[in-house]
């Protein structure tokens, strides 16, 4: 009997491996990546196939979710003609986001840059207290602590006032959220759901695809997005890392409705319930000054990797400077080449990263690219104090991006992300000033000294670099 079962298992494995190899040839996007998976399958018995099933499937071909084309048909949108965009310096980027994600540029908005936990959460709680109809919240990390307890008190009060509260949290990022806390949310009337929760039956198909978005929308009037999660790490140091240093964005105006549509879409993907709101119309009430903002959202189900395309386009269109803040800067070949090309053509390219990281493997992988940056004249700064967690790009005093997407394969191809693209000179200059202020506190990497580091460090970084598509 044991021999029979062994034969059956071998046959099943061979059939599965053959099926995986067939799919790689049919749906593999990059030959180098396809070859890597083929080598893994042939050299790692059983493990190679399992790794592919968890990490390697092409979600742009094998979607987690399918949506009807008319999902947002009942929502009023802003129409901007091609003639109106002809004179816009960033016409191509605007059209890219609109065509790829169906999120047009909005004209009348107000945006406030928020730095670090104290300023951000003070603004968030003040806005939440003003809610009259509904509050939508979505976070990758929602951790219990002082912030979470304070939110419970506020939620309970707002629900008594008749406010509807919907909360989404990622099943893996918020894995530590206890059943006790979830019951408290349910008891006071918060509609809370986990996005792709950890379930054995769906483990292989979903564990590698996470919702990394951070969104708050209040009454279609005020919206927040950026790098900050709901965690006490932004208010006090924990046992492993210093306090987190991050940037967030508060918005009012037409763009808020489009940020809300990202939440509504994710709510539907999670609950199969389509939220119908009477006031989900792009509104600019009370805003007289023009400030152009466009919401860009991307995920593994989309036909194109929109955030990768947006970052790529911003870097390529830069004429004077490209300043990037990101803790997980692990560029793929296209982004690395665009950064190098910009620097070699005379654009001032500077990268600000954290000298402290929450994962050693990521730290090694990030540093593995320093030599490539240095050869092209790209300047690298390491922030030495807090753990720098911002996701910011600013170019030429004209265009900025702030949101949730890192510059790594995980954010650009495997996670659900959202960024605000801001076409505004004053905001870009403010963001640049904060960047230069943080660079002044940082330590610039001496490339010659870095290139002479011990061979053991180079070996470790080279090994870590192999995992860059997974990080």
Active-site position among 219, 232, 363, 438: 219
Tokens of residue 80, six digits = 């901007």
Q: For 328-450, list the strands marked E by DSSP.
A: 348-354, 379-383, 387-388, 392-395, 399-403, 417-423, 443-444
At 87, is the secondary structure helix, strand, or coil?
Answer: coil
Cβ proximity of 218 and 128 under 8 Å: yes
Q: Cα(81)–Cα(121) distance, rounded to whole angstroms?
A: 38
The bridge status of strand 417-423 relative to strand 215-218 is unpaired
Active-site position among 245, 389, 413, 432: 389
Active-site position among 136, 158, 214, 233: 214
Q: Which of 152, 35, 58, 95 is nearest to 414 (CA)?
A: 58
Q: 212 burial class (0-12, 13-18, 19+ CB within 10 angstroms)?
A: buried
Active-site position among 233, 391, 413, 432: 391
* Neighbouring C-beta atoms of residue 47, cutoff 10 Å: 11
Active site residue 136: no
Active-site position among 110, 136, 158, 212: 212
Active site residue 397: no
Active-site position among 396, 408, 409, 424: 396
Active site residue 214: yes
Q: Which residues contact 414 (CB under 8 A, 6 or more apart)?
A: 59, 208, 209, 210, 300
Q: Which of 145, 115, 201 is nearest to 392 (CA)?
A: 115
C-alpha to C-alpha distances, 263 to 72, 333, 417, nearest whole angstrom: 12, 31, 11
Active site residue 79: no
Phi, psi of 225 (to 5 degrees): -155, 165
Q: Which of 96, 72, 90 is nearest to 310 (CA)?
A: 96
C-alpha to C-alpha distances, 22 to 17, 56, 217, nearest whole angstrom: 9, 13, 44
Tokens of residue 342, six digits = 């910009």
Q: Cα(144)–Cα(151) distance, rounded to whole angstroms?
A: 10
Active site residue 389: yes
Active site residue 232: no
Residues acting as catalytic residues? 212, 214, 219, 389, 391, 396
């Amino acid at each position: 009997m044991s021999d029979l079962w062994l034969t059956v298992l071998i046959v099943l494995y061979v059939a599965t491996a053959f099926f995986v190899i067939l799919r790689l040839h049919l749906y593999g996007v990059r030959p180098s990546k396809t070859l890597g998976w083929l080598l893994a399958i042939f050299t790692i018995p059983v493990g190679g196939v399992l790794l592919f099933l968890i990490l390697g499937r092409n979600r742009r071909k094998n979607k987690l979710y399918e949506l009807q084309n008319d999902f947002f048909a009942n929502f009023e949108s802003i129409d901007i003609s091609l003639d109106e965009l002809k004179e816009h310096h960033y016409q191509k980027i605007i059209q890219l986001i609109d065509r790829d994600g169906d999120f047009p540029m909005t004209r009348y908005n107000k945006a406030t840059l928020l730095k670090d936990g104290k300023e951000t959460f003070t603004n968030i709680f003040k806005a939440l207290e003003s809610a009259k109809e509904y509050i939508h919240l979505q976070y990758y990390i929602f951790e219990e602590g002082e912030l979470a307890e304070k939110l419970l008190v506020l939620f309970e009060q707002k629900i008594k006032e008749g406010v509807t509260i919907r909360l989404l949290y990622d099943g893996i990022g918020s894995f530590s959220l206890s059943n006790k806390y979830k019951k408290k949310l349910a008891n006071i009337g918060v509609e809370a759901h986990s996005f792709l929760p950890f379930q054995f039956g769906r483990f292989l198909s979903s564990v590698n695809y996470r919702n990394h978005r951070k969104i708050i929308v209040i009454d279609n009037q005020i919206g927040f997005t950026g790098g900050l999660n709901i965690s006490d790490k932004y208010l006090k140091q924990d046992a492993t890392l210093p306090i987190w240093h991050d940037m967030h964005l508060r918005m009012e105006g037409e763009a808020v409705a489009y940020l809300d549509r990202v939440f509504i879409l994710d709510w539907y993907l999670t609950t199969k319930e389509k939220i119908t709101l009477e006031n989900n119309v792009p509104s600019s009430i009370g805003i007289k000054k023009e400030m152009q903002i466009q919401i860009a959202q991307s995920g593994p189900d989309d036909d194109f990797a929109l955030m990768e395309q947006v970052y790529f386009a911003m870097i390529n269109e830069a004429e004077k400077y490209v300043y990037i803040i990101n803790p997980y800067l692990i560029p793929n070949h296209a982004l690395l080449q665009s950064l190098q090309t910009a620097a070699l053509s005379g654009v001032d390219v500077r990268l600000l990263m954290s000298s402290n990281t929450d994962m050693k493997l990521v730290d090694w992988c990030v540093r593995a690219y320093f030599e490539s940056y240095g050869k092209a004249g790209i300047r690298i700064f390491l922030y030495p104090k807090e753990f720098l967690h911002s996701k910011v790009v600013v170019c030429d005093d004209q265009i900025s991006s702030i949101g949730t997407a890192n510059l790594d394969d995980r954010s650009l191809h495997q996670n659900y992300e959202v960024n605000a693209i801001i076409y505004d000179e004053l905001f870009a200059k403010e963001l640049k000033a904060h960047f230069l202020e943080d660079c002044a506190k940082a330590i610039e990497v001496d490339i010659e000294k870095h290139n002479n580091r011990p061979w053991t460090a180079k070996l470790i970084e080279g090994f870590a670099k192999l995992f860059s598509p997974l990080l």
